[in-house]
Structure 1
């Protein structure tokens, strides 16, 4: 198949469920838009209540985060990302995300993640690895448990 024959796809986020980001938090939700096994990339929306701190993680690839709602930061940095803010995270960096209460009741971010996210416990041991494959597994398990027909979030078409 040539790239010219791949049709443009439009994905409506209302057609996709918010999936709990278990086992890390039952209050944080992920909406999996695309999980690309070819590029090792995920495109997601993340929703978390203000005041939430997510586990520290390490990036094996780059991450671009666009803030849709609320405000958030990393414990390791002084900046704050508010609606319209774009954060570029280089491969080889680690951070601890915090959803800030002074910017509303929740945050929503659009995330384009390449490679793996390595999550650390309080003793600096890797306790989990998140990537396109774990995203597909979490999404399919959620859809099955809820009786929702899962979409093919790995394909290039809608």
Structure 2
């Protein structure tokens, strides 16, 4: 059967670079593990400095965020995610991420994002869209600019 012939893959964290989450930020970094054009999904690590508010955005699909280091919250909620926390976001949610102001360490999260992130201005107008294609373009352009041989992140064994 086909599923029995699919190889289990492992991508070491050192296999892909941390890169600026440009054009949104030069000090928020992203590391891609999987960029899936079929499912419209990305699997990443995100690193953001303490005391930072990230752009408000709307999700068209689900998001799962595991906090590896530091703490963060959404401006619109009372809870705080700390190391070991899992946040599950349903499609059609919108929020403004904030990293902890008191702990002083970078926040690192492991993220599984399906669909698009639509960045919003203060009047709820869409100002940018992030998805698997913009992620792939960012990754390939960064690798080209830095002389890095890109991995095939559309297949997990790459």
TM bucket normalised to smaller: over 0.9
Distance of 1:131 and 1:4 partners within structure 2: 30
Instruction: Please provide the CA RMSD for this pair.
Output: 1.1
Structure 2 portions without partners, runs of 5+: none
Name the SS of the counterpart of 1:101 in structure 2.
coil
Distance in 2 (CA, whole Å) between partners of 1:24 and 1:42 is 17
Alignment of 1:42-61 (within 5 A): 42-61=42-61
Counterpart CA distance in 1 for 2:92 and 2:23 is 24
Corresponding position of 1:37 = 37
TM-score, normalised relative to structure 1: 0.96
Q: C-alpha displacement at 1:155, in angstroms?
A: 1.2
Q: Secondary structure at the match of 2:102?
A: helix
Moved more, 98-107 or 63-72: 98-107
| CA shift digits 1:35-71 (9 cap, x unpaired) | 1111111100000000111100001000000000000
Note if contact 1:56-1:95 (Cα within 8 Å) is conserved in structure 2: yes
- Secondary structure of 2:141's partner? helix
Write the mapping of 1:2-151 to structure 2, written as runs, cut at 5 A: 2-151=2-151
Instruction: Provide the C-alpha distance between the structure 2 equivalents of 1:150 and 1:9, rounded to a whole number of angstroms.
Output: 17
Say if 2:76 and 2:96, in contact at 8 Å, map to a contact too.
yes
Could you list the structure 1 runs, at least 4 aligned residues long, displaced by more than 3 angstroms after superposition. Answer: none
**Counterparts of 1:37 and 1:129, CA distance in 2:** 15
Question: TM-score when scaled to structure 2?
Answer: 0.96
Q: Distance in 2 between matches of 1:13 and 1:129?
A: 26
| Aligned partners of 1:71 and 1:104 also within 8 Å | no
* Alignment length (residue pairs): 158
